[in-house]
Structure 1
């Protein structure tokens, strides 16, 4: 599928985020790490809202190496792009007013959608797609508030900084399909992703090498292999909390 954002293609959005002038507007105070809402504008051209997370503002975590969260957000976009599912909005790594960090296109969510009801839906294809994506990236923090449904009906997700751990740490509010067979769409996407991960020259393989450790990058491939082998949605780990806290 090909995404567009207020008339911008994915490539145009990436170009704007990478080269446009970044101006902070305010801080998103609910975020645990420094997260700023900004505008990004090309000279005499396109302008958009975006989220800027400087590496310098990352809070140290006991289970993730310091200063790596922005790179994990970039890796999540690379996996989403390789799958062709547009789960993650366009995301780049660049310098900004407070140093290098992650910059992601702002998605204006549909306020008419009840996110708690959405998170419980068993029929939403985008939500089920996201559950598979989270299993691939080993997302340890899929909260209700990280769902971004748009007025057009597409569903995005945000906040993937605590993903890609080597050990199984899937923690999510989307367990409604555990043990159920993967859809044909999911299996086709996973087959394509595995092919691209095995190609060292592919964009997704290069991006994972850039931002993850070698064991973490290999673990992505291994999770894809296991999903394709078992052909079912995964179960929670008995050794790790199944749902993030708070879940919303």
Structure 2
């Protein structure tokens, strides 16, 4: 259903939510649910605002809006990198409801630890990691075009938490990013594992997508983001898109901000 956003969004917006349990590995309140409408049922994730943990660098109660804003930007790119997401009332108050994406357990790993002399062919280096006992390994990610598009999207969103567990290789063969609550800060806060392309030219077609995104941010997309971002944050998002178009390259890590999320996976 993730490949059919209009149907998924209608179901998520108007369907009846039933809570089945809490996802305990999440740092904020995340509930596994089903949503039902007109005989159609789908699994989903509900993140009530009331379950958000306060953060020192983001205003309280804004993570849900940032999740929705991230989806709207992703949808505008046409890349479909974030599952359909809405902001609505639920059993525990307002929050985001996002379509559950079923992972493909047989999919190849997209991140690995390899010999520090690496990386192996088809992999790109992220950072050297201390694995204990005085030993190091090279943390790497695959040279995968789906990941590369996600890296471009993260640069636009200023995503501060692209851990290895924050993408899903789905059974439909697509890659989806999840957990976009800490995005759209005004200062540079990109923190990700997808640094393998840092400083390299953007992938084919990315500049054209960013040009369309820039136009959308000046129009209907920008208006749809206003309820969820401050004017300064929205202006910073426009500036990031403009900078990516100007340079035509993946960004480098900010010199005064940690570049790798913790824990990384």
Q: Normalising to structure 1: TM-score of the pair?
A: 0.93
Number of the residue aligned with 1:53: 47
SS at match of 1:120: strand
Superposition deviation, residue 207 in structure 1 = 2.2
In the TM superposition, 1:208-227 aligns within 5 A as 208-227=225-244
What CA distance in whole angstroms lies between the structure 2 residues aligned with 1:115 and 1:125?
Answer: 11
What CA distance in whole angstroms lies between the structure 2 residues aligned with 1:53 and 1:198?
Answer: 29
Superposition deviation, residue 152 in structure 1 = 2.9
Superposition deviation, residue 38 in structure 1 = 0.2
Residue 260 (structure 2) pairs with residue 243 (structure 1): yes
Residue number among 95, 104, 122 corresponding to 2:98 in the alignment = 104
Higher share in helix = 1
Number of the residue aligned with 2:20: 25
Residue number among 16, 20, 41 corresponding to 2:36 in the alignment = 41
Superposition deviation, residue 52 in structure 1 = 0.2
What CA distance in whole angstroms lies between the structure 2 residues aligned with 1:87 and 1:148?
Answer: 10
Deviations 1:13-32 (A, max 9, x none): 00000000100011000101
Gaps of 5+ in 1: none
What CA distance in whole angstroms lies between the structure 2 residues aligned with 1:26 and 1:147?
Answer: 22
Residue 8 (structure 2) pairs with residue 13 (structure 1): yes
Contact 1:115–1:147 at 8 Å: present in 2 too? Answer: no
What CA distance in whole angstroms lies between the structure 2 residues aligned with 1:24 and 1:116?
Answer: 32
Superposition deviation, residue 208 in structure 1 = 1.3
What CA distance in whole angstroms lies between the structure 1 residues aligned with 2:64 and 2:203?
Answer: 31
Give the superposed CA RMSD. Answer: 1.2
Number of the residue aligned with 1:120: 141
Residue number among 147, 151, 156 corresponding to 1:136 in the alignment = 156
Contact 1:91–1:104 at 8 Å: present in 2 too? Answer: yes
Gaps of 5+ in 2: 113-122, 124-139
- Give 1 or 2 for the bigger CA radius of gyration: 2
What CA distance in whole angstroms lies between the structure 2 residues aligned with 1:102 and 1:60?
Answer: 17
Residue number among 57, 60, 76 corresponding to 1:63 in the alignment = 57
SS at match of 1:191: helix
Higher share in strand = 2
What CA distance in whole angstroms lies between the structure 2 residues aligned with 1:229 and 1:34?
Answer: 39
Number of the residue aligned with 1:197: 217
Deviations 1:91-150 (A, max 9, x none): 00010000000000000011123242497011x111100000000000000000011111
Residue 248 (structure 2) pairs with residue 228 (structure 1): no
